[in-house]
């Protein structure tokens, strides 16, 4: 069946979003000029757009922000989660306004342009979000050209021809390329981010970087750990040579089953050695795969800063930050793994722990910068568990 004809290009349109089914959405471009193809998702957070776009877990994705006013506090050098933004671009409702924050050092439009990220404004983001909720996250192409010249046929072919995130390993593409130490703690209004030199005698955590967020590292340091970050493909022997007291499995993008091809054997060896493990997001999914569970692609995923999660041990509800398009299938967990948290949106697995090994993980992001902070205790829980292993 032939695709429906594209709506006529409105006067002044300098950007377009073309979906794999042929749908064409016009708007005004900002940020960098160019073309990018990826998965179109949505994020419901009202704050933290700079953190979202710089989160490595968004590699290969175009973000639709449901909150209409994006860019209104500009950008700064502190509120980023990685050295480079990883989202391909973003879709917003209202045009970018001048920055209104004493912390801003650059207009959001200029920040996007500097990092080569494409933006489109003037879009009915409610309608696009509803489309994603009903039909799933589609593949799409975002394009910006200041004179408004586009080859729609070519853009449609690009969107339809992109293979999608299933089966795609992106962790090793964006991971660190060498080991490095991290000693920066949490941000404060008066000092910003400062190094913490008081952890020299604390437990040593080796953090495997599958797409690490900086605020995860800062929370590990704040909890008292000494931290060494290693690339995604670091071997078991290389990790053990660093004499860790515990190992952290980071968040990251792509299909966990694809990343698991090289990550799961390492995690299994760590479990066999009774190494304490804590995983977040992709790290949670990889731990699930390591014990024999299965991961599946979600229709729309969970992305936002207002996701309620129930802690099963006591019924406490935590408001959490989430960003994932895959989930661990609860029905495939082995008897040695039990659910610890569940999403109150759809009942999907949000946390697990092993009954025979010192390992646990959560699907959400407890570091949650800029918020909420309901789950910061998990970092303290992990680091506190390492002291007996350090003594041993």
Instruction: Give catalytic residues, as residue numbers.
Output: 281, 365, 367
Burial-class residue 332 by CB neighbours within 10 Å (0-12, 13-18, 19+): middle
Q: In what order do the strands lie in the sheet with 317-328?
A: 180-182, 226-231, 204-209, 246-249, 277-280, 359-362, 349-354, 337-343, 295-311, 317-328
Place of tokens 């989430």: 322
Q: Give 211-250 as a DSSP string.
A: S--HHHHHHHHHTT-EEEEEETT--HHHHHTT--SEEEE-
Measured CA to CA, the distance from residue 64 to residue 51 in angstroms comes to 14
Supply 88's token pair: 């391909």
Residue 281 DSSP code: T
Residue 180 CA: distances (Å) to CA of 136, 183, 205, 230: 38, 10, 12, 7
Residues facing residue 249 across a β-bridge: 208, 279
| Number of residues that this document lists for the chain | 392
Q: Give 70-97 as a DSSP string.
A: -STT-B-SSS-SSSS--S-EEE-SSPPP
Angle at 303 between CA 301 and CA 307, to 5 degrees: 100
């Amino acid at each position: 069946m032939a695709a429906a004809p594209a709506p006529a290009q409105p006067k002044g349109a300098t950007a377009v979003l073309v979906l794999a089914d042929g749908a064409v959405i016009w708007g005004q471009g900002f940020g960098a000029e160019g073309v990018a193809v990826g998965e179109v998702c949505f994020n419901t957070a009202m704050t933290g757009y700079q953190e979202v776009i710089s989160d490595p877990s968004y590699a290969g994705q175009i973000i639709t922000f449901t909150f209409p006013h994006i860019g209104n506090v500009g950008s700064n050098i502190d509120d980023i989660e990685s050295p480079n933004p990883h989202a391909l671009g973003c879709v917003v409702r209202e045009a970018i306004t001048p920055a209104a924050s004493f912390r801003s050092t650059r207009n959001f439009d200029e920040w996007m342009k500097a990092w080569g990220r494409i933006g489109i404004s003037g879009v009915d983001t409610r309608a696009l979000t509803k489309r994603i909720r009903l039909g799933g996250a589609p593949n799409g192409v975002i394009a910006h050209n200041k004179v408004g010249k586009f080859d729609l046929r070519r853009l449609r072919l690009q969107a339809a021809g992109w293979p999608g995130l299933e089966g795609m390993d992106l962790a090793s593409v964006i991971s660190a390329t060498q080991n490095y130490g991290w000693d920066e703690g949490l941000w404060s209004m008066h000092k910003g981010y400062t190094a913490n030199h008081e952890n020299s005698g604390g437990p040593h955590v080796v953090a495997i970087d599958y797409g690490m967020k900086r605020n995860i590292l800062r929370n590990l340091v704040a909890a008292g750990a000494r931290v060494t970050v290693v690339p995604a493909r670091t071997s078991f022997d290389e990790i053990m040579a660093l004499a860790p007291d515990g190992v952290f499995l980071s968040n990251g993008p792509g299909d966990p089953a694809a990343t698991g091809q090289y990550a799961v054997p390492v995690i299994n060896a760590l479990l066999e050695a009774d190494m304490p493990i804590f995983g977040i997001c992709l790290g949670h999914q990889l731990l699930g795969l390591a014990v024999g569970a299965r991961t599946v692609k979600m229709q729309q995923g969970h992305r936002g800063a207002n996701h309620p999660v129930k802690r099963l041990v006591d019924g406490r509800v935590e408001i959490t930050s989430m960003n994932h398009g895959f989930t661990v299938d609860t029905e495939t967990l082995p008897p040695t793994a039990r659910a610890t948290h569940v999403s109150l949106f759809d009942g999907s697995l949000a946390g697990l722990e092993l009954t025979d090994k010192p390992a646990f993980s959560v699907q959400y992001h407890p570091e949650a910068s800029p918020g909420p902070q309901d789950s910061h205790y998990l970092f303290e829980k992990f680091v506190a568990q390492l002291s007996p292993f350090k003594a041993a």
